[in-house]
Amino acid sequence: MGPTVDAPSCALPSRPYRLADRAVSPSGTTVTVGDVTFGGSHVVVMAGPCAVESRDQLLQTARAVRAAGARVLRGGAFKPRTSPYDFQGLGRDALELLAEARAETGLLIVTEVMDSLDVELVARYADILQIGSRNMSAYRLLERAAGTGKPILLKRGFQSTIREWLLSAEYILAHGNSRVLLCERGIRTFDAEFTRNTLDLNAVPVLKQETHLPVIVDPSHGTGRADLVPTMARAAVAAGADGLLIEVHCDPASALCDGKQSISTEAFGSLMGELRRLGPFLGRAVA
């Protein structure tokens, strides 16, 4: 007999994201906000403009997405733009308009908080706080947002691995806030000729194994192209996503932000019809 060698362990390597670990809740966690539940039998659709631009723009879009079956209205008040000369958002005025749209339509509000200094302000208006892709690793911001007790939509950093993303979620969970939604929104790859980002749908089944948290897909930023959004939205639902985040504008050609990837209210209505028909084949209802 030669020297003894330890047999390779077949056990999974221990996961560093202790609270996000699927083992904590093997059947998955649901996150309930108002009358909307993420992670259950329904695929929840969140829709609206990239940025709140005006009262008319927001209300017109909100009414249309509500009529088509969306449950949550998205709309940026504080916009992290690549150029400091681009439209930066209407700030507090946008939050007031979002509140007005909620009062009229009954839609819940998801909007981004970009800076620790704005957390309390945004939390006074939002039903769900969004942490944007650029801020996924802003750990103090994550903790401040977690401390509000509001549900957090955590977008994946466009240059972040799934492990890094789950560890960012762990910051929120470890700070005592268990209501985290993970949102895949595309990552930067070598091929940006035809698409703005590469939508990583691999992440959906990977996350379903690794974590109990609900998984959302954003096909708008994931592709950067309105014409690709319906296809990738259907693909996301087929892959097992618990929700979708879609940019919709009442007049995409005039949008101040992300017009190329924003679908019209009419296209959104058609997409919702397709998703509703597709859902039963996948064991999900779409709402």
List contacts with Mn ion (CB under 5 A).
Answer: 50, 258
Which residue number, 160 or 177, has a Cβ lying nearer to Mn ion? 160
Residue 229 C-beta: closest distance to Mn ion, Å:
12
**Which tokens in the block code for residue 14?**
């221990």
Residue 48 C-beta: closest distance to Mn ion, Å:
10
Of the candidates 86, 152, 95, the residue with the CA atom closest to the CA atom of residue 118: 95
As a dihedral over the C-alpha atoms of residue 187, residue 188, residue 194, residue 195, rounded to 10 degrees, the angle is: 30
Which residue number, 111 or 168, has a Cβ lying nearer to Mn ion? 111
Residue 87 C-beta: closest distance to Mn ion, Å:
11
Residue 51 C-beta: closest distance to Mn ion, Å:
7
Residue 62 C-beta: closest distance to Mn ion, Å:
16
Which residue number, 21 or 258, has a Cβ lying nearer to Mn ion? 258
The CA-atom distances, in angstroms, between 144 and each of 131, 140, 159, 192, 208 are: 11, 6, 23, 34, 27
Contact 131, 145 (CB under 8 A): yes
Q: What angle do CA 92, 96, 98 make, to 5 degrees?
A: 110
Residue 57 C-beta: closest distance to Mn ion, Å:
14
Give the CB-nearest residue to Mn ion. Answer: 50
Which residue number, 169 or 255, has a Cβ lying nearer to Mn ion? 255
Which residue number, 33 or 50, has a Cβ lying nearer to Mn ion? 50
Which residue number, 167 or 217, has a Cβ lying nearer to Mn ion? 217
DSSP 8-state class, residue 156: P
Beta bridge partners of 183: 155, 216
Contact 105, 62 (CB under 8 A): yes
Of the candidates 78, 178, 181, the residue with the CA atom closest to the CA atom of residue 134: 78
Distance between CA atoms of residues 201 and 241, nearest Å? 9
